[in-house]
Amino acid sequence: MENSLVKSNAIESALITGDLSKLSAEQRLSYYNQVCTSLGLNSLTRPFDYITLNGKLTLYARKDAADQLRKIHDVSIGKPDITFQDEWIIVTVLATNKDGRTDSDIGVVNKKDMRGDFGNALMKAVTKAKRRVTLSICGLGMLDETEVETIPEAVPYSEPVITTHMTTDKTLVAEAVELGGVVEAPKTTMDLATAEAVVDSKGIRYGDIITRDLAFKANAMEKYLRENIIEPAEREGKQFKLDAVRTILAARNGGK
């Protein structure tokens, strides 16, 4: 009974202050699932992720959240209104829900975004507008991932899965490991020694980087490969480094 009361007080405090970092990993998971349940979202698709913004840990909406919300609330999006102002692409969209209520919002992207690929920058502006208006018409006052990317102070945070592993000096430590929900081995057969010998842009060996920072690297590389159109040679190099990180993370997580 006492534990339940403490848990409830912690969650209440987090809701009042808007800082989820005060919660334990278990409490954050409970809160995450409750948010998804209240909105009718499937938590297994990871509709939300965490960021640290203004010193507070909070949730932001991913693509899956917007897609599911449109389906749940029968939200239709009108034809985008696209205008250009100097170096900016400005897209305005109108959304209508099943009750006939309407809302509008904009997505603004620099023409030089997406490595200067105008077509992709335009699509990004349309996507941003659609997601923003979806969250707005559904009453969800939360940042979308397309907005998070433009906020320098926003630091991505991965919900940790606490594991125990042996470091290279055989000292038993606890590290927070998260790689898209699971720590998985690469599809290649890269050996651990090769993976640990790979160096980052600063010349630091992957084998000398702590687990948490490796997990952040993996998330960043996965996102880069998923969202950018790059030359085959560059993609191969990025994939090699991602496989190296995964190999190390999997080894530190007991070979899973």
Closest residue by Cα to residue 82 from 116, 114, 106, 110: 106
Dihedral sign (CA 242, 245, 247, 253): negative
Closest residue by Cα to residue 38 from 25, 48, 51: 48
Give the C-alpha separation, 107 to 179, whole Å. Answer: 29
235 CB-side CA count, 13 A: 8
* pLDDT at site 189: 65
How many degrees, rounded to 5, is the angle at CA 220 between CA 129 and CA 213? 135
Percent of the chain with pLDDT over 70: 79
55 pLDDT tier (thresholds 50, 70, 90): confident
User: 185-204 pLDDT, tens per residue?
Assistant: 445 568 888 888 888 877 88
148 pLDDT tier (thresholds 50, 70, 90): confident
* pLDDT at site 165: 38
* pLDDT at site 158: 53
35, 111, 113, 139, 141 from 123: Cα distances, Å: 29, 11, 11, 24, 23
DSSP 41-63: --GGG--EEEEEETTEEEEEE-H
Give the C-alpha separation, 233 to 238, whole Å. Answer: 9
Give the C-alpha separation, 209 to 3, whole Å. Answer: 37
Tell me: pLDDT of 182 over 60: no
Give the C-alpha separation, 249 to 256, whole Å. Answer: 9
Tokens in use for 158? 């991965």
69, 236, 250 from 127: Cα distances, Å: 15, 28, 34
* pLDDT at site 10: 66
